[in-house]
Amino acid sequence: MTTTKAAPESPGSPPGPLDAAELRRRCAATIDSYGPGHFEGRPWLRQAFLDTPREHFVPDRYWSTARREGRFPVLDRAERPHAWLKRIYRPLAPLITQIALGEIRPEDGPTDCGDFTSSISCPAAVVGMLHHLDPRPGDRILEIGTGSGYNAALLVHRVGATALVTVDIDAALADGAASKLAQLGMTPTVVTGDGELGYEQAAPFDGILSTAAVREIPQAWLRQVRPGGVIVTPVDTPFNCDGLCRLVCDGEGGATGRMVGGLDFMKVRGQRARRPYSELGWPLWSDYHVTAGPGGQRIRTP
């Protein structure tokens, strides 16, 4: 087996493209070790991941979620190019790109403010969500939460630019992503707008992927997916993390499905306020029935 050693970190010397490609391969290998629900059974996804330079979509400064002395540190490409690049390819590391809707800037240094309003999700989460969406070439997909444009690039790799619409509520993010995508020759429809409204003009879609969490599935999404099409979205749960929900739509405003994993996402802008879980269709705690015995325990809802 051949391995490439990353060059020692030195300010001002940007990492070469080979470093990034090697880090990408290693990241993919680690994600493989997480087992089902990632690249397994999805060769197209592995290829899209390996062909897409994630670092192209990452701003020169971002915050890490690995707190130091209670604060989120900033990784600055000019100061620490290799640390900046290595974290981009850590399978479980999200990169925070906007805090408090831009009121706090990475130029200001580390912060203790955890009001994250845009990020580039960690590679394992991105891969997991696309695994469950599993679009076919040419499928018409609506992505909610364009952010950096990285996830959109992976989708374009699979479905083609003309089949993808991606929406972000933040105009600067949408514009920035459109230009990053264009630099790679990708020209999906990038829209500034409220993704909770879907994108009626291009409906019906074969699938909707939301990269921001909801507490309640927006009605517009249910109306804008064709019968048999899927919605994949993080949904707020009472368990201190979001559940990744995969729904199949009936084309008449309804959908059914199940939770396929657990992850953590920022909420869509209009659903940041907490709501009682009983209003959102969740079972009560007393609905979880527990049995325990020599054979182990079982926890079920009726």
Ligand X SMILES: C[S@@+](CC[C@H](N)C(=O)[O-])C[C@H]1O[C@@H](n2cnc3c(N)ncnc32)[C@H](O)[C@@H]1O
Q: Which chain residues interact with ligand X by CB under 6 A?
A: 118-121, 144-145, 147-148, 150-151, 167-170, 173, 194-196, 211-212, 265-266, 268-270
Whose Cβ is closer to ligand X: residue 111's or residue 166's? 166
Whose Cβ is closer to ligand X: residue 223's or residue 250's? 223
Q: Is cis: bond before 204, omega within 30 of 0?
A: yes
Least Å from the CB of residue 229 to ligand X? 19
Distant-in-sequence, close-in-space partners of 149: CB < 8 Å, separation ≥ 6 = 57, 166, 176, 177, 178, 180, 181, 190
Active-site hit among 64, 118, 121, 148: 121
Token pair in block for residue 75: 């990784």
Q: By C-alpha distance, which of 98, 141, 123 is closest to 233?
A: 141
Is the four-CA dihedral 270, 273, 278, 283 of positive or negative sign?
Answer: positive
Token pair in block for residue 251: 């084309």
Least Å from the CB of residue 292 to ligand X? 38
Least Å from the CB of residue 168 to ligand X? 4
Integer Cα distance of 13 and 17 in angstroms: 12
Least Å from the CB of residue 37 to ligand X? 19
Integer Cα distance of 221 and 72 in angstroms: 34
Q: Would you say 11 and 78 are in contact if contact means Cβ atoms under 8 Å apart?
A: yes
Token pair in block for residue 104: 């706090």
Beta bridge partners of 292: 297
At residue 233, the 3 state secondary structure works out as strand
The answer to whether 148 is a known catalytic residue is: no
Whose Cβ is closer to ligand X: residue 74's or residue 268's? 268
Least Å from the CB of residue 151 to ligand X? 3
Whose Cβ is closer to ligand X: residue 64's or residue 119's? 119
Residue ranges of alpha helices (H) inside the chain are 17-33, 43-51, 81-88, 123-133, 150-159, 171-183, 219-223
Q: By C-alpha distance, which of 59, 44, 63, 53 is closest to 110?
A: 63
Least Å from the CB of residue 97 to ligand X? 7
Whose Cβ is closer to ligand X: residue 250's or residue 264's? 264
Q: Would you say 216 and 233 are in contact if contact means Cβ atoms under 8 Å apart?
A: no
Whose Cβ is closer to ligand X: residue 101's or residue 284's? 101
Distant-in-sequence, close-in-space partners of 201: CB < 8 Å, separation ≥ 6 = none
Integer Cα distance of 9 and 241 in angstroms: 36
Which residue has the CB atom at the shortest distance from ligand X?
147
Q: Which residues are catalytic?
A: 121
